[in-house]
């Protein structure tokens, strides 16, 4: 027999672990404007974007975003991190990181991934979602 608690738990689990349609959700921020987006990433109250609802950049043809991206730029000792939706993959890109160097003191690292909110701190977010789901199920069982 299904109880209200078990139905709530199943729905919460489905919500947390399955993607919504074909869209991907990514963090969308720039450490130049928000320090929480930087190397000490703090997702609390940062923008999460449903990438399928966001317009692609003007310099590319309209295309559905299918991945998240983190770009870390180190320019003359200053670090900037940009987290955003990804629209065009390079053929050799397989959800990994790629490093490029410029003229001496310019270093750029591009990382891509294809799961919701993966351009944050992935292990922490997945563990927190699991802890939240278990806590809510436990809490709802104790109330009823």
The DSSP annotation for 45-78 comes to T--EEEGGGSPPPTTS------EEEEEEEEETTE
Residue 63: give the domain boundaries: 4-143
Closest residue by Cα to residue 120 from 57, 68, 73: 68
Closest residue by Cα to residue 43 from 128, 126, 121, 143: 121
Q: Using one digit for the tens of pLDDT, what is the confidence trace for 37-59?
A: 999 998 888 889 999 998 878 88
pLDDT of 28: 95
Task: CATH number of the domain at 109, please.
Answer: 2.10.60.10
**Whole-angstrom distance between the N-terminal and C-terminal Cα of the chain?**
15
H-type alpha helices, the chain = 4-17, 122-143
Number of domains the chain contains: 1
Q: Using one digit for the tens of pLDDT, what is the confidence trace for 114-135?
A: 899 999 864 444 444 455 455 5
Look up the pTM and report it.
0.66
């Amino acid at each position: 027999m299904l109880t209200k608690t078990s139905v709530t738990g199943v729905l919460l689990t489905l919500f947390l672990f399955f993607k919504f349609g074909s869209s991907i959700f990514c963090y969308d921020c720039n450490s130049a404007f928000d320090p929480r987006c930087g190397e000490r990433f703090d997702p609390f109250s940062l923008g999460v974007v449903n990438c399928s609802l966001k317009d692609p950049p003007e310099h590319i043809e309209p295309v559905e975003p299918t991945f998240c991206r983190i770009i870390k730029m180190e320019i003359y000792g200053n670090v900037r991190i940009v987290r955003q939706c990804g629209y065009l993959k390079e053929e050799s890109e397989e959800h990994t990181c790629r490093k490029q160097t410029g003229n001496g003191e310019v270093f750029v690292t591009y990382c891509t991934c294809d799961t919701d909110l993966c351009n944050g701190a992935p292990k922490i977010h997945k563990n927190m979602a699991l802890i939240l789901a278990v806590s809510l199920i436990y809490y709802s069982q104790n109330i009823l």
